[in-house]
Structure 1
Amino acid sequence: MGDNMSLKTGVLMIFLTLILVAAGGIIGMILGYPIEILSLAFIMAILVNFISYWYSDRIVLSMYRAKSVTQNEYPKLYSIVSRIAMNAGVPMPKIAYIPNNVPNAFATGRNEKNAVIAVTKGALDILSDVELEAVIAHEIGHIKNNDMKIQTIAAVIAAIIGYLGFMGRFMIFGDTRNRGNSQIIGIVLLAVFLPLAALIIRMAISRTREYGADERSAQFTGMPDQLAKALIKIENSVRKKPMRKENPATAHMFIVNPFRGESLINLFSTHPPTIKRVEKLNELAMSMGRPQVSI
């Protein structure tokens, strides 16, 4: 699994390099300095790859103003994480608190040794202890399955590409009277195709990762029904009040897409439908002699 994950990470970074170099070529064409800016874009792509690989987890945590917490600050949460980590056979991950009322959680980090589980205020407020335990077990499932590195790097890469696309859309509304046809075409390419590239990156994070982490949660806790209940609670809460100010490029990292309903692009979310996840969890519950959850 490790070699396969390294290969996927490498492919993702090559894709980023190609996208940034292409964007540099387009911007160079718009500004009239194609070779110079193309060369600069290549150097920037190498730099961004380096930063994404080594610091993507810190970047994502900073996006959500996540704060590392101790056992003294959140003893119940710490106890749950510690117990599930022991059951899963992974090192105790760090715990981060996100001051956001939308219930959710995600795992990040390059590997098991520097993993972080981030939990929102909303999740701590609305989930019961056993539901929270099931959610934590799902995130530790991502750690066990070595999903976090590619998920976190993909989030940073998608955010960067999305920002370049935003620049292109901004240029569209600028003064185009003095621009040639090729420059206008370049601006449109930036505005349209870069966001699509960011979407492709997000969708490249396979939906099977969520199913796999759901199964891990059931394995670690023996309570697939509690994860199903938690997913339904989180889904209903997100539908009523999704995240709005944060970056949708990180949506695939969360246990449930927190930006649902925010834009058309989220119709192509990397998450499988919650109803399908609950159905699979009900199948697991039946096999484990646990109650099933009504959908």
Structure 2
Amino acid sequence: MMRIGLFLLTNLAVLVIAGIMMSVLGVGNYKEGGSLNLVNLLIFCGIFGMTGSLVSLFMSKMMAKMSTGTQLIEQPQNQTEAWLLSTVEELSQKAGIKMPDVGIFPSHESNAFATGWNKNDALVSVSTGLLERMSPEEVRAVLAHEIGHVANGDMVTLALIQGVVNTFVMFVTRVVVYAIDQFTADEEGEGGLGWIAEMVLTIVLDILFGILASGIVAWFSRRREFKADEAGATLADRQAMISALQRLKSEYEDASGLQGSMTALGISGSKMSAFFASHPPLDDRIAALQGR
């Protein structure tokens, strides 16, 4: 129920902001007299595509905390929480960024994530399962990996890439739908798809093209994971980073796949899942750290 509410809230914010921007820029209908105004269409798609991505970025901390049940550590209640705060502070200083908020979320899986709209207003959170099953050195390496994401500006980079991808998905979809509508009309311009069929086809193609285009975003995400692993090795310890990935591999090697949408350290299975995976196979990441 909470995820549905967050989804609706995000989309409402997108519609309001995009509507204001279109009004300010004076962007009109991209269909004029039965013809397609490609400039207006591109601006229309750019506004909605980038707005959706940027609104999600600005709301990312709130959404992550609510969806995972992350509890921020304001005042440490035990030795583990005190250690987490001091470790994140130390690693943040090494990385040259402002200390992120630090949290813990309930999950049996060994997991962690970083999010936030800029590197000086971020959140780093780890699961209870990770704290239970990894050694302090391995947890420190995972924290360094997440801080590497923050310091490298990965959240902003991927949000911008997603915005560009959204723009072109919307643009291509509407051009294709217009072409089909024109092809099915007679010489007098009568007939065509009709507004209901046009709307349904637009939604279907938006989804299909969006799924295909998500592979582009996933490719960039996988590249950023290697950089974050290297940051974990540099900020913490290379062998500890390798050990953390090996432990994660051992933990999940008998599982069919990882569950949950906030997984920060993942395993890819089939070629199809690997194409859409946001993280490279663990064997590849371990080999990269080992220089193989």
- In structure 1, C-alpha distance between the alignment counterparts of 2:250 and 2:165, rounded to whole Å: 26
Q: 1:82 aligns with which of 85, 89, 113?
A: 89
Determine which of 207, 212, 216 is the counterpart of 1:196. Answer: 212
Report the CA distance between 1:128 and its aligned residue: 0.2
Fraction of identical pairs, as percent: 27
Aligned to 1:214: 229
What is the TM-score with the length of structure 2 in the denominator? 0.62
Residue 289 of structure 2 is aligned with which of 244, 263, 281? 281
What amino acid maps onto 1:198 in structure 2? S
Match of 1:257 in 2: 266
- Identify which range, 193-202 or 72-81, moves more after superposition: 193-202
- Aligned pair count reads 227
Hey, what's the Cα distance between the residues in 2 that align with 1:118 and 1:157?
A: 28
State which structure, 1 or 2, has the greater radius of gyration over its C-alpha atoms.
Answer: 2
SS at match of 1:113: coil
List runs of 5+ in structure 2 lacking aligned partners: 1-17, 19-40, 167-194
CA distance in 2, matches of 1:263, 1:70: 43
> Residues of 2 paired with 1:146 and 1:40: CA distance?
27
Question: Structure 1 residue 238: deviation in Å?
Answer: 3.6
Residue 63 (structure 1) aligned with residue 70 (structure 2): no
Q: Does 1:105 align with 2:112?
A: yes
Greater shift, 182-191 or 138-147, is seen at 182-191
Aligned partner of 1:136: which letter?
L
In 1, distance between residues paired with 2:248 and 2:162? 21
Task: Give the C-alpha shift of residue 268 in structure 1.
Answer: 3.5
Which aligned runs of 4 or more in structure 1 are off by greater than 6 angstroms? 38-43, 153-159, 179-184
1:24 is aligned to: none
Q: Is the Cα–Cα contact under 8 Å of residues 59 and 156 in structure 1 kept in the other structure?
A: no
Are the equivalent residues in 2 in contact too, given 1:56–1:153 (CA < 8 A)?
Answer: no
2:245 counterpart of 1:231: yes
Give the deviation of 1:59 after TM superposition. 2.4
Task: Note closer, same or farther for the CA distance 1:116–1:181 as it changes in structure 2 (3 Å cut).
Answer: closer
Q: Which amino acid aligns with 1:210?
A: E
Q: Taking structure 1 as reference, are residues 183 and 274 closer, same or farther at Cα in structure 2, changes over 3 Å only?
A: same
Given residue 257 of structure 1, which amino acid in structure 2 is its aligned partner? G
**TM-score by structure 1 length?**
0.61
Structure 1: gaps (5+ residues)? 1-16, 18-37, 160-178, 285-295
Q: How does 1:150-165 map to 2 (within 5 A)?
A: 150-151=157-158
1-side partners of 2:98 and 2:137: how far apart? 21
- What does residue 121 of structure 1 align with? 128
Distance in structure 1 (CA, Å) of the matches to 2:163 and 2:50: 14
Provide, for residues 219-253 of structure 1, a one-character-per-residue CA deviation record: whole Å limited to 9, x for no partner: 222x2111111011123324427443x33xx55xx
Given the superposition, is the C-alpha separation of residues 191 and 92 from structure 1 closer, same or farther in structure 2, using an over 3 Å criterion?
closer
1:272 to 280, 283, 290: 280
The residue type paired with residue 106 of structure 2 is P
